Amino acid sequence: MRAEVLIAGQGLAGTLLAWELEKAGVSFLIRDPGHAGSATAAAAGIINPVTGRRLVKAWRFEELRPLVAETWRELGEALGVRLWREMRVRREFADDVEREAWARKAATGELAPFAGAGDEHGFWIGGAARVDLPAALGAARRRWKAQGRLREDAVDDLGAAAGSYRLVVDCTGAAGGVHAAFDGVPWEFSKGDTLELGVEGLAPDVILNRRIWIAPAEQETAFVGATHEPGVRDARPDPRSRELLTAAARRMLGGRDFTVRAHRAGVRVNLPDKRPVAGLHPTRPRLGVFGALGARGALWAPWLARQWREQLTSGLAFDPEVQSGRFLRS
């Protein structure tokens, strides 16, 4: 029997959408040729409540965090892997702009409840986390492939596929080739590189952040990243980025020895208002989109996937700030 929903792409968006549909008993088929060039494969899975040079609290962080933590924990249990780790961030000031932003915001309490103790060099951020994205994608892929719910090939034409399913959802990230149906959306792209290091003795729950972050991971590895190249859409690892990240890691790790085990790159997708998108096409109700997760896929994808599930099972409307209708007119 044909599935009700076709999910094109198994990055963060497709994986979380499939998981919500599985829980709701809605039948689905995922099609994804592999993760080469997927943004999720290059990401470190960091969830950080305070970011940027101006030290801004992440949009809706407090509201979303409980749902996000619960979803990742629950998916990890179903897959038999630990996906969610509570972390702290040691944020080092890179210059006086950051130092002054901290002094100002510490005085007004603007970063509460996340900002902790600080000194002239930096401050602590609580409430952060890291999601083991390679484990999530790999284990979910094996599960759904074994169940006959994942096919390892690409969808060539979303519009054509929409004739055969109740709903087809575009979760293809920066792929572009199947975006024809969503041409009116002003997608923006930014390439990023990360390195995987072999390094011993890092505190397992502390992410170091001084423009570049270093996030400890399993088996004496750590991720270093990330570069930002607005407008660049190819996902080939760039040797200049490797040099830049290696030099930053050397500085931040003091005299500690490390080796570079892997170098990855991916393309983030954003929208001009820096919000993600989820919803139906205004004139083609069997087509949907789930994307523009920017640099916050691990935080936003569980929330958007839950909205998709509620839309499909109870007809609930999407949150107005993420609706596709803000860019696509009927």
> For binding to ligand FAD (CB under 6 A), which residues are involved?
8-14, 31-35, 38-40, 42-46, 154-155, 171-175, 177-178, 192-194, 225-226, 266, 268, 291, 293-299
Q: Which stretches of the chain are DSSP H helices?
A: 12-24, 39-42, 61-79, 96-108, 133-146, 158-161, 239-252, 297-314
* Beta partners for residue 279, in sequence order: 289
Q: Which is nearer to ligand FAD, 33 or 116 (CB)?
A: 33
CB of 252 to ligand FAD, least distance (A): 16
Which tokens belong to 96? Answer: 């006086």
Q: Which residue is nearest to ligand FAD (CB)?
A: 11
CB of 116 to ligand FAD, least distance (A): 21
Q: Which is nearer to ligand FAD, 158 or 199 (CB)?
A: 158
Which tokens belong to 286? Answer: 């069997």
* Burial call 113-128: b when 16+ CB within 10 Å, e when fewer: ebbeebeeebbbbebb
CB of 107 to ligand FAD, least distance (A): 30
CB atoms within 10 A of CB 131: 26
Q: Which is nearer to ligand FAD, 99 or 233 (CB)?
A: 233
Q: Which is nearer to ligand FAD, 174 or 280 (CB)?
A: 174
Rounded CA gap, 213 and 251, in Å?
12
CA-CA distances (angstroms) from residue 15 to 29, 55, 71, 118?
11, 31, 12, 38
Rounded CA gap, 277 and 173, in Å?
11
Q: Which is nearer to ligand FAD, 8 or 111 (CB)?
A: 8
CB of 64 to ligand FAD, least distance (A): 12
CB of 112 to ligand FAD, least distance (A): 23
CB of 242 to ligand FAD, least distance (A): 12
Q: Which is nearer to ligand FAD, 46 or 222 (CB)?
A: 46
